[in-house]
Amino acid sequence: MNAGSYLLYQLLHCDVEELQVVAYVIAEQKFFFDKTAKTVTKYSAASNIVDILDELSDRGVKGYIIHDVALKGRQPPAGLPCEGWGMIVVTSPNTNNYESWAEQMGAEQIIINCPDESDVKAMCIWKEHNGQVEEEAGEEADYWKKVNGRMDKVGPLLRCVFNQRKYKSRIYSCEGKVKSMNIFDTHYYSILGTNEVCVVIATSLTKL
């Protein structure tokens, strides 16, 4: 569950007359969803996405591009979006992932906050109603209580709180990060939530 896949789901359900193709790019992987033919094509990492989309645009095909920056510092190609197509870039706040492309394109910034407790509780009710809970969680008397307990540990990260394996993986990852912290890391994280200011020359945030 993340912004990229949610946007893809919504675009695939748009009127096919208004939007015939959705291009979904994540890291080096490129997927093209042809809504008219109801097919999905995966292109190789070596393929040139700009050339592919320009050809579709020249033929009058209407589409939308989702570019998920999964690799740090890997900005979208300067030739995107192609003429007549819309585009959204999904990224962490790390400006190295989008800044020069955004300035060139005049892109607007949209900030998505994490869901609050009431949002996640509503999702639990919806998942229970549609039979989409984990097998082991389905046997629990209170599914929300289990998910809420995970939120106390890892925060409202949807990809983690609804999946036991990903939840445990996140816990192990955090424990590993704490064990590998140096003096600078300790100082930086110790002042979060306070009025102190920590000057950071280069910031690299992990996408959650």
What are the tens digits of pLDDT across the range 106-133?
888 877 777 788 888 888 888 887 777 7
Whether 182 has a pLDDT exceeding 90, the answer reads no
Closest among 70, 69, 104 to 88, alpha carbons compared: 69
pLDDT band at 33; cut points 50, 70, 90? very high
pLDDT band at 189; cut points 50, 70, 90? low
Contacts of 160-168 with CB under 8 Å at 24 or more apart are 161/120, 162/1, 162/123, 162/127, 162/133, 162/134, 163/134, 164/134, 164/136, 164/137
Overall average pLDDT of the 42-65 stretch: 89
Overall average pLDDT of the 96-115 stretch: 81
Overall average pLDDT of the 30-55 stretch: 90
Q: Please name every residue paired with 31 in a beta bridge, in sequence order, or none if there are none.
A: 24, 42
Highest mean pLDDT among 61-65, 70-74, 107-111, 186-190: 61-65
Contact (Cβ atoms closer than 8 angstroms) between residue 29 and residue 4: no
Whether 51 has a pLDDT exceeding 70, the answer reads yes
Could you tell me what percent of the chain has a pLDDT over 70? 83
Whether 158 has a pLDDT exceeding 60, the answer reads yes
Q: What is the pLDDT of residue 2?
A: 61
